[in-house]
Structures are given as structure tokens and as C-alpha cells.
Chains A and B, each alone.
Chain A
Amino acid sequence: QVQLVQSGAEVKKPGASVKVSCKTSGYIFTSYPITWVRQAPGQGPEWMGWIRPYTGNTNYAQKFQGRVTMTTDTSTDTAYMELRSLTSDDTAVYFCARSGSGSCLGCRVEADYWGQGTRVTVSS
């Protein structure tokens, strides 16, 4: 069965960086993009971007451009999301999710399987 298992909770100081991992299993890792979404306390989800593991191509939300890097390791079927220059506004639960390839007109695009979430707290 498809599974995405994320790394554990993190506490960081303002100005630091955080790197969250997302270990996948149960499907062909290189066939599906990995999407990253975050959710601040009491807020709705916020799309951060995605990466295509086969090519390494990324698409980041403008809001995070220059501060986020998404990568994958195809030898371990794991995706990573690094966010730098953290502020208290980055306190949130970060999710990875498998997305459809969208590579054809009828191909699915939306995120179907999700990781359990990683809580990142930024506090001095």
C-alpha cells in the first residue's frame, strides 16, 4: 500500500533552517510528483510547491521562492523540503503528498496520499 512517512517534530530558532524528509513506499517513486503543503495553527492548508522525482524539476509558490528547496533521493525513494531563514510565521505542520503526474489531458493532478505531517515550531 502507498505510504508516506515523514520525519519527526522540529523546534528551531528564528533565522535557522529546517529540513523535513518524506520516505515513500508502495508505488513507483519516480512516476509521481511530491507536493509540499503547510498548515499554520487554526489555518487552512497552504501549497508550497512540488517536485518531479524523475527529472528533479520543481515549481515553488512565489511566496517561498529563494527560501525553499525541494529535493529527492531516488535511491531511497525519499523527498526532502528545506526551508531557510525561519520566522515565527513558519510555525506550522508541514505535509508531503503524492500528486498525479498531470502528464496527459486525462491524467490526475491532485494530491491523493499524504504523509502524517511534521510539526515545525519556530521560537526564540
Chain B
Amino acid sequence: DNVLTQSPDSLAVSLGERATINCKSSQSVLYSANNKNYLAWYQQKPGQPPKLLFYWASTRESGVPDRFSGSGSGTDFTLTISSLQADDVGVYYCHQYDSFPYTFGQGTKLEIK
């Protein structure tokens, strides 16, 4: 199975500051035939289902604020929030859909400092 390891496990950032979450994949999720990384980022708040933020590693889902950005390729990926807002609190997961079984990272809990 493709294991996704996120870092850090938890993160406390001041409002207006930058937050960075990393995701490392044990196998490349880059599909050479179309040069796309089969990796997504989700945000989850208590009692809610995950909310899709990015697909293809860096394509922002409709409605997601542009303070969120996704980057990386192959096995190393980053989710960045450029200026943290109160509503950004939650748990963030990376997710690979390149090979079965699809897998999720263990999650990064983001809080306000």
C-alpha cells in the first residue's frame, strides 16, 4: 500500500500568519502518461465529512479561497495557507488516488495560536 505520512501532526499558527503542512508518499503518485499527480487535500471539521480543497495536487476546487495553495510532485507535497483565518481551523488530510487501495495521511490538526 502507498503510505502517506504528514508532518507535523499538529500545528498552531497565529491569525494572519502562514501555515504549512507536508505530505510524503511512499510511492510516486505522478502518472507519466498525463503528468498529473494523483493526490488530493481535504479539510475536515468536527462532525462533518471531509471537504475537498485540491485535486491533481495543486488544482483548487471551486469555492476554495485563494489563500490556500497546493504544491509538489512525485512523492513530496505541501499545503499552504498564506494568511490563516479563524475558519481554517480543522484537520487536514492528504489522499492518494493513484493506486489501490487508495489511502489517506494520518492528518494534521491546525489550531489558532
Contacts and interface: CB of A to CB of B under 8 A. Distances in A.
A61 B101 contact: yes
A86 interface: no
A112 B61 contact: yes
B107 A62 contact: no
Interface in B42-77: 42, 49-52, 55, 61
Interface residues of B, number: 23
Contacts of A62: 101
Nearest to A100: B55
15 contacts: A35-B102, A44-B104, A44-B105, A47-B104, A49-B101, A61-B100, A62-B101, A63-B101, A97-B49, A106-B34, A108-B55, A109-B55, A111-B40, A112-B52, A114-B50
Interface of B: 33-34, 36, 38, 40, 42, 49-52, 55, 61, 93, 95, 97, 100-107
Interface of A: 35, 44-47, 49, 59, 61-63, 95, 97, 105-106, 108-112, 114-117
